[in-house]
Amino acid sequence: MNTTTLTAIRIILVIAGLLFIAGAIVVLISFVALWNFVQLSVGVFFVALGVFLPWLIQKRFFFAAVFIVIALVLVGCAFLAVYGNADNADYTEDAVIVLGAGLRGEAPSYPLQARLEETAEYYAKNPDCVVVVCGAQGANETITEAEAMRRYLVLHGVPYEAVIIENRSVTTNQNLTFADELLTERFPKGYRAVVITSAFHVFRAGCLARGSGINSAHIGADIGFFGAPANYIRELVAVAAMIFGRKG
C-alpha cells in the first residue's frame, strides 16, 4: 500500500470520526428522531470507505462510481446551502409562516428555536404582520409544536394576538397547506407571506409553497455547524422524493 493511499485512508477515517462526534452532539441538542442518526450512518459509510479503499482503487469502476456519488452529494448540498442563505424578504409581507421542527418536552429543539429567533427578529421589523406557527403534537411531545412556538414568541416580544396557531400538520406540505387556509380566511383578497424555516429546508419549502399557491419570500434560519451534514444529506433525499412526486 503506497503512501498516498495511506494518507487518503487516514483523512477518510478522520472525517468519519468527526461525523460521529457531530452526530452525537446533534442527538443530544435536538429531539431524538430517526433522521438525527443519519450523520452517524454517514460516519459508518466513511469508515467502510477507509477500510475498503485499497480494494476500490484496484476496481476502477467502483472507485469512480463512489466518488461520483460523493461529488454529486457535495454539489447538491452546496446548492441547498447557497439557496437557503439567500434571504429575500422585504419586511412588508402580510404574514409569516413558521414551519415546525420538533420539541424536547415542551421546549423548542435547537432547529426550531433558531426559526423562532428569526421570526421574533422579523416581527420587530414588521409589527403589522401576523404569524402562523405550524405543527401538531408528535408522539414524544406533551403539547403541540404550534403551542410551544407561540409561547416562545410571546416570551420574546411577539403579541399573543398576533400569533395564529395551526396545530394539525405533520409534514411540510401540510404546514403550508393548512397555514394557507387560515391566511386565506384572514386575507380574502390575497396576501404575501414569508416562510421561515431552517436554511437547508428553504428550497423544498419554497417549492411546496408555490405548489400551494402561496406568494412567498423566505428566510433561512441557522442550523448549527454540527447539524449541517445530516440535515443537508437528508434534505437531498427529501428533494429527490419531491421531484419524483412525493410531497412531505
CATH 3.40.50.620 fits 95-224, yes or no: yes
What pLDDT was estimated at residue 28? 60
Task: Locate the domains of the chain by residue range.
Answer: 3-84, 95-224
What pLDDT was estimated at residue 138? 82
Ordered per-residue pLDDT tens for the chain, 248 residues: 556 655 655 666 666 666 666 666 665 655 545 555 565 666 666 667 666 667 666 776 666 776 777 778 888 889 999 999 999 999 999 999 999 988 888 999 889 999 999 999 999 999 999 999 999 998 778 899 999 999 999 999 999 999 999 999 999 999 999 999 999 999 999 999 999 999 999 999 999 999 999 999 999 999 877 667 778 888 988 898 888 876 66
What pLDDT was estimated at residue 22? 64
DSSP the chain: --HHHHHHHHHHHHHHHHHHHHHHHHHHHS---GGGGHHHHHHHHHHHHHHHHHHHHHSHHHHHHHHHHHHHHHHHHHHHHHHHT-----S--SEEEE----EETTEEPHHHHHHHHHHHHHHHH-TTSEEEEE----TT-SS-HHHHHHHHHHHTT--GGGEEEE----SHHHHHHHHHHHHHHH-TT---EEEEEEGGGHHHHHHHHHHTT--EEEEEEP--TTTHHHHHHHHHHHHHHHHTT---
Indicate the pTM of the whole model. 0.79
What pLDDT was estimated at residue 119? 98
